[in-house]
Structure 1
Amino acid sequence: METPVIITKKAHDLFLKYGVRSVTMDDIATEVGISKKTIYKFFENKDALVENFIEEAIAENEESCRTFISKNNNPVVELFFTLMVAQKLYQDLNKPILNELEKNHHKAYLAVKQHKDGFIFQTIKTSIENGINKQLYQADVNPALMSRFFLESLLLISDTSIFSSTTYHTTTLSEEIFGHLISGIATSAGTNLINRYKNQHRFIRGTQTLTRPFWED
């Protein structure tokens, strides 16, 4: 593994574990086992490492969504999967990290915001539109409005000051809330489909892998 890759991997692990603000270049150098001077040969400053951290997190999120959608034609499963994958991203990029990005790493923060308001929003909206066309979601649902509501729900669920991880298991919480939200816009056909998956126990709990559906056809 090349040195820049090792540096970024260790930096990303530290950012996720301790938060962006708490991690220094000295911490990264110690963790990698190289001098800080060596890090600066590849990365101009901490900002560059933070931006790389965010870029990779966003790229992974987009790839997971695109890969799944390309292999699936069920809007109900697609919407649920998209929400769960996006929630995982915001679980990692928690509120303290986002606040630190907004305050001290504006370019990285802007990338997260653009990803949320662009890719995630459009993916949710397209899924809802497909569901309406297939009569799985109610015809009078406003796709843009509901997409925004779903999107903001992601941030709410990920906020541990509201839903403590010691009280609520994040994955179970997400599954329950997203399940109710999707059921709320479903037609009778959509509701029957949801219930069929649940009754057959084909609803895959957990986030062990984000490359397969949580509900399987």
Structure 2
Amino acid sequence: MFKALIIGGSLGGLAAAHEMRAVGADAAVYERSAGRMEARGAGIVMQPEVEALLVRLGMSAGSVSVELHERQQLHIHGRPARYAAPQLMTAWDTLYRALRDPLAGVCYRLDSALRRVGVEGFEVTAEFADGYTARGDFLVAADGIGSATRRLLDPAVRPGYAGDVAWRGLEPESALPEDLRDLLTDRFTFFVSP
């Protein structure tokens, strides 16, 4: 059995842990957050690859999603444009729990900020800010846009702006006026501005 060190314990890291285990690896996940992972809101479209992973884990996509039938585009001057677009939507918290719970017996180490990566022969070493060192056969960088792994392995490469910015806001449903709840309920809603 080989050991996979997974840097990043959010959704990508959890999915990577499941994939590594599916091919016979002993997976260990290292997350830089010191405490409980913070909620990241809703609005995640269920993708076929995630649905396939959930099925392999004994869950259905519908058990962690809500079904929407319509999309709408809001305009600053005018009525919403609506069209049929059936899809499943989920929330970060829900998907995180669905992927995290089956890994209860797997090493999942919080407060593990990566400081150094080394390769010697066929072994990779990950050293963390608190002095902890992990050794394995394979390293997966699943630590997101501000990837410490990327920065350590190739300091010259920097993420670049791709041309779009998406803003999401979280507001308790009970705090919204009824007409706004009616407008947004059961629809995937966009508002685009220059």
**TM above 0.5:** no
TM-score using structure 1 length:
0.20
**Between structures 1 and 2, the one with greater strand share:** 2
Higher RCO (CA 8 Å, separation ≥ 6 residues): 2
TM-score using structure 2 length:
0.22
**Between structures 1 and 2, the one with greater helix share:** 1
